[in-house]
Amino acid sequence: MDELLETTFLGIGLKNPLVVASGVLGTSASLMERAAREGAGAVTSKSTGSEAWAGHANPVTLAWGNSVINAIGLTNPGCQEELPILVETKRRLNALEVPLFASIFASTAMEFGEVARVIAQAEPDLIEVNISCPNVASDFGEPFSANCASAAAVTRSVRSAVSIPISIKLAPNVPNLAQIAQAVVAEGADAITAINTVPAMLIDAYASRPVLKNKTGGLSGAAIKPIALRAVWELAQAISVPIIGTGGVASGLDAAEMIMAGASLVGVGSAVVNGGPAVFRQIAQELSEFMQQEGYQSLEEMRGKAL
């Protein structure tokens, strides 16, 4: 274990600040265990809702350079079926001393609380509340992350349902990101995850139609790193709770930039498409080497340096 990378988040000890982002390697206990063994500091499960949901028809995802566009559509088995998966995952990750973050979504504020109550039975270390998926508007309507009132209502519902720490996952494509973050913190959010994927589209000019069956999707990877950095930087100056900075992190230098923008933890998602699960160990090593080279003695010393 690299002592330089050790950190504490909401009282939870992590071997390093790298978190498997929701939707990546988070569908089974074996995959989440593998991510932990490959060097992830914490693992986030794929978002689950109240009922089983098939998601969108293929094609649903495409690698685009060092980025990915997807419209998977929150495919999940439903929270009752997800519960035993999380119980088994929690058992396996406890043996590895790696925290489990469980991601949830719902179609109403009240339903968010109901899903959170079910998932809390697995005793995850944190519940990440996904109110910002950009590719399900046709299924569930405007994301709850679009304004202060709806984001606050969801947070209030989840906070009243569980005592486990909660992080609200926000979207970047809003005019008042800091105000929305402040609204959810006021309702009891312990942390903020920023950002979700960015609404986007790819068109096949030869076929004269969008590449994705859903037409639009969420863009992640290198293309959104500057957007994510700006969001984390803005949030770090507006709220006092910790931030899980997510978006375009594929190297130790990327992770350092996110931490300098104010992130406490760093989500890694699309980098797994190109680098596989071993990318977590690679990023951690590169981050440690950067810190040694630049004379940083801890992550806390580096955090927020760009503010």
Catalytic positions are: 133
Q: Which amino acid is at 75?
A: T
CA distance 23 to 238: 28
| Beta-sheet pairing, 166-170 with 191-194 | parallel
Cis, peptide link before residue 195, omega less than 30° from 0: yes
CA dihedral for 250, 253, 254, 255, sign (positive or negative): positive
CA dihedral 181, 258, 300, 285 (to 10 degrees): 140
Helix (H) or strand (E) holding 243: strand 243-246
CA distance 221 to 275: 12
| 8 A C-beta contact, residue 55 and residue 77 | no
Residue 176: partners with Cβ closer than 8 Å, 6 or more residues away:
147, 148
